[in-house]
A and B are shown apart, each in its own frame.
Chain A
Amino acid sequence: MSAPATTIDAPPEGRARSLWKRLRDGDEIAHTVTFLCAFAVIAVTALLVFELYRNSEPSRLKFGWSFLWTKTWDPVAGKFGALPFIYGTIVTSALAMIIAIPLGVGAAIFLAELAPPGISSALTFLIELLAAVPSVIIGFLGFFVLLPALLRAEPYIRSALGWTPLFSGPFYGVSFFTAGVVLSVMIVPFIISISREVILSVPSDQREAALALGATRWESTWDVVVPFARKGIVGSIFLALARSLGETMAVTMVIGNDPKISASLFAPGYSIAAVIANEFAEATGDLYQGALIELGLVLFALTIIINGAARILVVSTTRKGTSQ
């Protein structure tokens, strides 16, 4: 591009030259501005990690790596361990994903491919509204509506799944299970809304080609459109996962806030975000505050590790059969 420009249109000299150059450098300006935007985001993240690392020093020095696998959380004795909280965070998020992924992707396929346009746009509007509901409201619904409903449904769940260790022991309503279900309600709109947009943006000649080859409508959707949109759908799932790992208010209302590790999903538990929200305001002393801040650091690391692992999994399984 620049080579012909120099020959056809020789650059002016002196003052005029620098003005001309500056005008040509519009690209440079746009480049700089957008770079600064991107850099600001990274800088804020880096600062966050640095501050978490710095302020968790009393706890890091005292407990070292054993913080990660210690089960005791005793503010009075000054003994702090993160394991029950890490466990609770992973279990509730995993449960939420197990419920939300099939539900969300299924709904997105229906809304984008199969539903009549009127119904699709009306439902999409409602689903996006659900995504905007504040988490404390979802927490209230979980506590006052879902929790009594689960208590009533308990005998049926037990008779169907009670033989597994996952549904043993007493059930008080607040549990890993309740927290997982509440989280799935919170993240499903993200999966539906983004996946639907991605599926809608698949070029229609893809569908037409499949249909022309004799595929049924479902075959064209499932074998051609969904694989084409796979990357975007996976992206929506990552966003949902990040949200569920860090969710605070709704989880603390229904998880039971008991730092214990139990195999049963019916048992009460605790999550990292919930304990920070519960105890930070009244935490006195550098060690106690440091331990809570270190939990924040652990949550950050956990998010990166889980997201990274999921990404590797996706990359290793999507080599063939997709167009992107």
Chain B
Amino acid sequence: MIRKVSGAILALVLIAGVASAQTITAGGATFPYPMYSKWFDEYHKKVPSVSINYQSIGSGGGVQQVTAGTLDFGASDYALTDAQLKEFHDKRGFNVLAFPTVLGADVPAYNLPGVTAVLNFTPEALAGIFLGKITKWNDPAITGPNPGVNLPNENIVVVHRSDGSGTTFIWVDYLCKISPEWDKGPGRGASVNWPTGLGGKGNEAVAGLVHQTRFSLGYVELTYALQTKMAYGNVKNSAGVFMKADLASVTAASAAVKDMPDDFRVSITNPPGKGAYPIASFTWLLVPEKISDPAKKKAITDFLGWMLTDGQNVTEALSYAKLPASVVAKEKKAIAKIQ
């Protein structure tokens, strides 16, 4: 008897569960993963019938899996290329839409024993250092914008990411824009052929290498630097102001972009504007234009709407820079494109 009753209850629970729960599978970029997992958790508390399962498999995997249709939506730290968009369209017969969610930025971190001042870096100095052309800390390109700082006659030990990452993409995308030599040489990508330097796997390894190696210079993701309270340098923006990266100056960088394209595929490194930090980027959700299951479609579009309103209010607690109002307004209109 008891067994029968409990069996019936179990069956009821199962049926109820199946009927109401909408599970959405998503995956991709690792950089915004802490933010996304917080969002999906918060949203599940607000709308218990929708649960979004996100796997941080990397941007490459996110693009691949959403193209193959194994994910309901993907996530990537890089804007899709024309070839990738075409591949998606060829395979699925419709387009994929990109929605910026938060912003990422890279900061230069260094280890200079005896130097306590915050260093100023010009674009030329950063490009020269990473190209291996500027090798000493007391090179005029570095001492020039840092009057009064006693920089040593020591070799610069360059540290970069060894794993493919959006953090690297932002950094080299910036170097491509400010240095024709970099653009022609190593170029743009999640991993590149570095002219010089040591590689560390992940932000934590780069930070660890910089911490342990005297006279080193590396780049780390701003979120990581803020969370671990690392010291980092300022970078000169295109208006000639040495900017400290913080959440406000990163949001300002994306607001400064003129002519935001309708598909949001835009690089925002080296933007105009006095208050903009120059080494920043959007990170995107990749949502198919056609979602055949109406319940799923509603769940995804509702989530996007929430992410652009309430979701944006919780980003700064996790040290992510939020979207500027202009981009939010444009994205809200773009949600209507999902059929």
Contacts and interface: CB of A to CB of B under 8 A. Distances in A.
Given A76-B188, A76-B192, A144-B208, A282 B60 contact: yes
Interface in A49-83: 72-77
B199 interface: yes
A111 interface: no
Interface in B210-242: 212-213, 216
Given A144-B208, A253-B201, A170 B155 contact: yes
A172 B198 contact: yes
Contact of B199 (A77, A148, A278, A283): A278
Interface in B38-73: 57-61, 63-64
B58 A281 contact: yes
B186 interface: yes
Contacts of A42: none
Interface of B is mostly: loop
B198 A277 contact: no
B193 A77 contact: yes
Interface string A67-107: 00000111111000000000000000000000000000000
A258 B63 contact: no
A253 B209 CA distance: 10
Contacts of B189: 75-76
A172 B188 contact: no
Given A72-B193, A252-B201, A282 B187 contact: no
B190 interface: yes
Interface in B13-32: 30
Instruction: Output the residue of A258, A274, A279, A281 with the most chain B CB within 10 A.
Output: A281
Interface in B144-174: 155, 157, 162-165
A148 B192 contact: no
B193 A284 contact: no
Interface string B100-120: 000000000000000000000
B233 to A, nearest CB: 20
Interface in B176-201: 186-194, 197-201
Contacts of A278: 162-164, 191, 199, 201
A224 interface: no
Contacts of A148: 212
B205 interface: yes
B212 A282 contact: no
Given A281-B58, A281-B163, A284-B63, A172 B193 contact: no
A77 B157 CA distance: 25
B164 A172 contact: no
Contacts of A191: none
B187 A77 contact: yes
Contacts of A75: 164, 189-193
A143 B60 CA distance: 28
B199 A74 contact: no
B199 A284 contact: no
Given A74-B192, A76-B186, A257-B198, A174 B164 contact: no
B63 to A, nearest CB: 7
A277 B208 contact: no
A296 interface: no
A256 B30 CA distance: 22
A283 B155 CA distance: 32
A172 B213 contact: yes
Nearest to A143: B208
Contacts of B190: 75, 282-284
Contacts of A192: none
Nearest to A79: B193
A306 to B, nearest CB: 25
Contacts of A283: 60, 164, 190
Contacts of A256: 198-199
A281 to B, nearest CB: 4
Contacts of B155: 170
A180 interface: no
A143 B200 CA distance: 11
A173 interface: yes
Given A76-B188, A147-B212, A282-B58, A258 B198 contact: yes
Contact of A257 (B58, B60, B61, B162): B162
Contacts of B205: 143, 253
Q: Which 4 A-B pairs have the closest CB atoms?
A: A282-B164, A257-B199, A257-B162, A281-B58
Interface of B: 30, 57-61, 63-64, 155, 157, 162-165, 186-194, 197-201, 205, 208-209, 212-213, 216
Given A77-B187, A253-B205, A258-B199, 12 more contacts: A74-B192, A75-B191, A76-B186, A77-B193, A172-B198, A256-B198, A258-B197, A277-B201, A278-B164, A281-B30, A282-B164, A282-B190
25 contacts: A74-B192, A74-B193, A75-B164, A75-B190, A76-B186, A77-B187, A143-B205, A143-B208, A143-B212, A144-B208, A148-B212, A173-B213, A174-B198, A252-B201, A253-B201, A256-B199, A258-B197, A258-B198, A268-B199, A281-B57, A282-B163, A282-B164, A282-B165, A284-B63, A284-B64
Interface of A: 72-77, 143-144, 147-148, 151, 170, 172-174, 252-253, 256-258, 268, 270, 274, 277-279, 281-284
